[in-house]
Chains A and B, each alone.
Chain A
């Protein structure tokens, strides 16, 4: 079965650079979530989109922005990168609506800021 695709899988950037992470949800899933997992931490919610509209916002820094496109893929744009942004970034997808559907995670993008 098709899973959530994330690219790139690994990314190394220097401080103050920008990065763009991409997420392709499971086919027919209309909802995308972004999570950040620091070393030894649990995943923290950043932002979500439902039907191409921003739905919820968590602890996402102002330096980060995201959007969901017409084909439902999503991109997380990160600017003025800091050392503390080094983390595993997960995208998850689900069916939206009122029901509490499962969220399926992609393999993650490991971002290292040097």
Chain B
């Protein structure tokens, strides 16, 4: 079974509007972390936001927020006030723990296009 599922291969959003990118995950671990990364066409992988499984509050970082619904095993990324520079591939990833140096498992990504 897929550990990370991103069901939206592509999304379009109008500039200045908000957009939600979906991510569901599957794990039997109690301790895990969920991450979102942005990959522009230039290729680098940019860390956006992190949510720990024990965190009670939803994570926020500037215009990014993570809508964490533990019972539903979802960790959706919300981007508010979209900008043209937000156009990129977005990956949801999970790190299962505990243990040192645990790797990330990525979803298949969502290509976001911001329209002027």
A: residues with CB less than 8 A from B are 31, 33, 35, 42-45, 48-50, 55-56, 58, 88, 90, 92, 96-98, 100, 102-108, 110
Are A42's CB and B107's CB within 8 A? yes
Checking B47, B98, B107, B108 against A104 with a beta-carbon cut-off of 8 angstroms, the contacting residue is B47
Are B100's CB and A31's CB within 8 A? yes
Are A56's CB and B103's CB within 8 A? yes
Are A100's CB and B103's CB within 8 A? no
Are A33's CB and B101's CB within 8 A? yes
B: residues with CB less than 8 A from A are 31-33, 35, 37, 43-47, 50, 52, 91, 95, 97-109
A56 vs B2: C-alpha distance when bound (angstroms): 20
Cβ distance A86 to chain B, nearest Cβ, rounded Å: 14
Are A103's CB and B97's CB within 8 A? no
Are B101's CB and A105's CB within 8 A? no
Checking A44, A49, A108 against B101 with a beta-carbon cut-off of 8 angstroms, the contacting residue is A49
Are A107's CB and B97's CB within 8 A? no
| Nearest CB in chain A to that of B105: its residue | A45
Are B101's CB and A100's CB within 8 A? no
What residues on A are CB-neighbors of B103 within 8 Å? 33, 35, 45, 48, 56, 58
Question: How many contacts A-B (CB < 8 Å)?
Answer: 71
Known: A31-B100, A49-B101, A100-B95. A88 touches B107 (CB 8 A): no
Are A45's CB and B104's CB within 8 A? yes
29 pairs across A/B with beta carbons < 8 Å? A33-B101, A33-B103, A35-B103, A35-B104, A42-B106, A42-B107, A42-B108, A43-B45, A48-B102, A55-B100, A55-B101, A56-B103, A58-B103, A92-B104, A98-B98, A98-B99, A98-B100, A100-B97, A100-B102, A102-B50, A103-B35, A103-B47, A103-B104, A105-B44, A105-B47, A108-B43, A108-B44, A108-B45, A110-B43
